[in-house]
Amino acid sequence: MTESEIEQCIRQYHGAVYRLALSYVKNAAEAEDICQSAFIKLWEQSAAPENPKAWLFTVTVNLSKNLLKSMRFTRSTELDENIPCSAGLSENETELWQAVMKLTPKYRAVIHLYYYEEYSVKEIADIIGASETNVTTRLARAREKLKKLLLKEGTYDEKGIQRNV
């Protein structure tokens, strides 16, 4: 890839790659490191991938999973901070994003890719290396867990209608 192609990819996909990494590791500094590593891997490619965004997401998922499995990450503690990923979102969207961030990484990733990045189930399966059935199951379970979280927090009622809090 040429420098201008790399720069274009960084401008276009940095935010999405960062949010995906953040949805896995829940740590802003680690997510930025993963994001940077993904773009370095893109730069090291001899030929441009057919779909750079999907390629970057696949690399980001793999780097995130590797970090979560690493000894360094399991011995570190999570920073208790408001993650600045909700910039540009409305108050309702911010509440929903915060609920999504409370899910486990495998559920956060599919919710993020499906709703925020608008990938199909098949594309998500290719990105995370799972079957379409597995992705569909994860989406259903994630939705159910989100529903329970939002009901518990009092944000929404049983019918999914937002309460005026």
Q: How confident is the model at residue 100 (pLDDT cuts 50, 70, 90)?
A: confident
Which domains are seen in the chain, by residue range?
Answer: 1-84 (1.10.1740), 88-165 (1.10.10.10)
Q: Which of 2-11, 87-96, 125-134 has the lowest mean pLDDT?
A: 87-96
Q: How far apart are CA 34 and CA 23, in angstroms?
A: 12
Mean pLDDT of 112-140: 91
- Under 8 Å between Cβ of 20 and 113: yes
For residue 17, the Cα-to-chain-centroid distance in whole angstroms is 8
Q: How far apart are CA 165 and CA 160, in angstroms?
A: 14
Tokens for 157? Answer: 């009622």
H helix runs in 26-161, sequence order: 28-44, 52-69, 71-75, 91-101, 105-111, 121-128, 132-153
Query: pLDDT digit string (tens) for 104-124?
Result: 888 988 998 898 888 899 999
Non-local (6+) Cβ contacts of 94 within 8 A are: 86
pLDDT value for 80? 44
- Mean residue pLDDT of the chain comes to 82
Which pairs count as long-range contacts for 152-157, CB under 8 Å and 24+ apart, including other chains?
153/95, 153/99, 155/95, 155/99
